[in-house]
Amino acid sequence: MSGSSNIVAMKKIVQQLRLQAGINRVKVSWAAADLQQFCLQNAPQDPLLAGMTSSINPFRPQKVCYFL
C-alpha cells in the first residue's frame, strides 16, 4: 500500500516540477528597473511621500466636543 501511495506522491511532485519549469521568468534586474520606474512615476500621488491635506486625512486628530 505504501509503495503505490509513494508512486502517486512522486507523480504529483514531477507534475508540479514540470509546471514550474514551464513558467516564463523575468530577470531580477529587469523587474527591479520596472519597479523603480513605477515608484518614480507614482511618487507624486503617494500620500506617504507627498503627504495629504488635513481635510482628507482620515488619521487627523478628531475635534473634541464638550457638553456643559
Domain that holds residue 30: 2-43
pTM for the model stands at: 0.48
- pLDDT tens for each residue of 13-63: 999 999 999 999 999 999 999 999 999 999 988 878 877 776 777 777 777
Residue 17 resides in a domain = yes
Instruction: Please indicate, yes or no, if residue 49 is contained in any of the structural domains.
Output: no
Decide if 48 is inside a domain: no
Task: Look at residue 54 and tell me if it is in a domain.
Answer: no
pLDDT of amino acid 60: 73
Q: Which helix (H) or strand (E) holds 46?
A: none
Q: Does residue 68 surpass a pLDDT of 70? A: no
- Tell me, yes or no, whether 58 lies in a domain: no
pLDDT confidence band for 1 (50 / 70 / 90): low
pLDDT of res. 63: 75
List the end-to-end C-alpha distance of the chain, in Å, as a whole number: 80
Please state the domain count of the chain. Answer: 1
Q: Which three cell numbers mark 35?
A: 519597479
Domain membership of residue 59 (yes or no) is: no
